[in-house]
């Protein structure tokens, strides 16, 4: 009898040890834009304090390497990641290939209307949700208030045509050599800027299952981009710049206008890293005369659980914490919350009322990039074609016609 009691005690002790064993989650994030590494480390530290049985191993990679890192780790199964940050353009591909866990049943129905609809598209494929939206972002037009004032310009532009006119005035007054700076390197950043302009001019990527970006608003968008370079109003180095280059040029006072993500507002207004702090204006990206009043593209990102993760419950708990309104409102300077109610909270509005005002317009206009499983191939094709036009080796029509012909096989 005593042996039975001893055996039972040892078994219970063993089970207790197993149950209480700490879980270590491996989480993958990107280095640049939106929440900083310091923000994410602080959020994680707070989560671990509330959940002493869960430890988080954070890994940061450049955005340009994020997609391939997720794909390559999928074959690692239970030795891969437990939480990954993914872009709005990848859920269809990841769902098709079984990389991400369907978490539809884990999301409360009440959250459907509390979160911006554009944010939900970030994690949705074929009607199922593969994560929670976390970074709700689009590109805004930043402007140097002091330069506009010296040029006699009373208000920032509301259309892309007005932007060209104001830039011409600023250049003529020799306030800056190249008034506009963009992130037009051969990368996804180029597609984001092109999508913003395409949406302003009423274009579409596909119509009736066939490529349509080589006509109408898609063609006008690229014609605008090439014209801006030829006129000398846009910095020619834009064709080699990513978003961080744009931030640094604008923060050095070497541009009057820049198109960039939310994170630039706080950093360009930080006197420790910006020469134009206090003179940074922000408005929605302009519209096109007679077509639209403003423009925006969906640059949001979500957090998901790879299918191979052996710790899905703990991973979901971590995701729930990071995407919660209190956590997002506490760190709302480099990325704005996904929750509609947060936009009237003092913690979010204080010190960045102009950003929040612009967001209230732009976040309701976010135009999507194509949601197809072959998006990476389409993006690479478009990047190459857009660069050919920007660098002058082809006309906009030639570049887009060629891309459209090749892209027809992707649908």
Q: Does 17 score more than 50 pLDDT? A: no
The chain-wide mean pLDDT, for the chain, equals 93
| CATH ID of 23-137+299-363, from 3.20.20.70, 3.40.190.10, 3.40.228.10, 3.30.70.20 | 3.40.190.10
Q: Give the torsion sign (CA, 129, 130, 136, 141).
A: negative
Residue 105 is predicted with a pLDDT of 97
Task: Tell me the domain boundaries of the chain.
Answer: 23-137+299-363, 140-297+372-408
Q: How would residue 354 be classed by pLDDT, with cut points 50, 70 and 90?
A: very high
Same topology, domains 23-137+299-363 and 140-297+372-408? Answer is yes
Residue 411 is predicted with a pLDDT of 65
Query: How far apart, in whole angstroms, are the C-alpha atoms of residue 206 and residue 122?
Result: 19
Nearest to 258 by CA among 122, 141, 152: 141
In sequence order, the β-bridge partners of residue 297 are 367
CA distances, 150 to each of 235, 250, 307 (Å): 20, 17, 56
Backbone torsion region of residue 316, taken as left when φ is above 0, otherwise alpha when ψ lies between -120 and 50, otherwise beta: alpha
Pairing of strands 301-304, 83-87: antiparallel
The predicted-structure confidence for 191-219, as pLDDT tens digits, reads as follows 999 999 999 999 999 999 899 999 999 99
Query: How far apart, in whole angstroms, are the C-alpha atoms of residue 99 and residue 61?
Result: 19
CA distances, 9 to each of 12, 78, 131, 181 (Å): 5, 31, 41, 70
- SS3 of residue 189 by DSSP: helix
- CB neighbours of residue 77 within 10 Å: 12
Q: Does 2 score more than 80 pLDDT? A: no
- Please give the full DSSP string across 242-255, using - where no structure is assigned: -HHHHHHHHHTT--
Radius of gyration of the chain (CA): 23
CATH topology (fold) of 140-297+372-408: D-Maltodextrin-Binding Protein; domain 2 (3.40.190)
Structure tokens at 219: 């063609």
**pTM for this predicted structure:** 0.89
The predicted-structure confidence for 96-121, as pLDDT tens digits, reads as follows 999 999 999 999 999 999 999 989 99
Residue 20 is predicted with a pLDDT of 57
The predicted-structure confidence for 41-90, as pLDDT tens digits, reads as follows 999 999 999 999 999 999 999 988 999 999 999 887 778 999 999 999 99
């Amino acid at each position: 009898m005593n042996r039975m009691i001893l055996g039972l005690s040892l078994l219970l002790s063993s089970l207790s040890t197993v149950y209480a064993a700490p879980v270590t989650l491996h989480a993958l994030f990107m280095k640049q834009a939106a929440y900083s590494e310091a923000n994410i480390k602080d959020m994680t530290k707070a989560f671990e304090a509330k959940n002493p049985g869960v430890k988080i191993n954070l890994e940061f990679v450049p955005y340009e390497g994020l997609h391939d890192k997720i794909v390559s780790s999928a074959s690692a199964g239970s030795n891969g990641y437990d939480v990954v940050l993914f872009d709005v353009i990848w859920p269809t591909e990841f769902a098709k290939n079984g990389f991400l866990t369907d978490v539809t049943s884990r999301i409360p129905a009440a959250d459907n209307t509390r979160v911006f609809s554009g944010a939900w598209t970030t994690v949705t494929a074929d009607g199922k949700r593969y994560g929670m939206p976390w970074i709700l972002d689009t590109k805004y037009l930043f402007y140097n208030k002091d330069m506009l004032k010296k040029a006699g310009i009373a208000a920032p532009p509301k259309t892309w045509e007005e932007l060209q006119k104001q830039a011409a005035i600023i250049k003529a007054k020799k306030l800056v050599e190249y008034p506009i700076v963009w992130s037009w390197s051969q990368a996804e950043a180029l597609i984001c800027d092109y999508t913003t302009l395409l949406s302003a001019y009423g274009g579409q990527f596909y119509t009736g299952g066939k490529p349509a970006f080589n006509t109408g608003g898609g063609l006008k968008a690229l014609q605008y981009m090439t014209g801006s370079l030829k006129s000398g109003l846009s910095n020619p180095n834009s064709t080699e710049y990513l978003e961080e280059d744009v931030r640094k040029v604008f923060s050095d006072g070497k541009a009057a206008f820049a198109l960039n993500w939310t994170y630039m507002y706080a950093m360009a207004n930080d006197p420790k890293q910006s020469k134009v702090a206090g003179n940074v204006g922000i408005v929605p990206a302009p519209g096109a005369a007679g077509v639209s009043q403003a423009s925006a593209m969906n640059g949001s990102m979500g957090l998901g659980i790879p299918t191979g993760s052996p710790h899905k419950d703990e991973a979901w708990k971590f995701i729930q914490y990071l995407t919660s309104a209190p956590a997002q409102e506490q760190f709302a300077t480099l990325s704005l919350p996904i929750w509609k109610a947060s936009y009237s909270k003092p913690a979010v509005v204080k010190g960045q009322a102009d950003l929040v005002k612009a967001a209230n317009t732009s976040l309701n206009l976010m135009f999507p990039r194509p949601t197809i499983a072959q998006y990476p191939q389409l993006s690479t094709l478009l990047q190459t074609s857009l660069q050919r036009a920007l660098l002058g080796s082809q006309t906009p029509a030639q570049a887009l016609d060629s891309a459209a012909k090749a892209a027809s096989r992707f649908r």
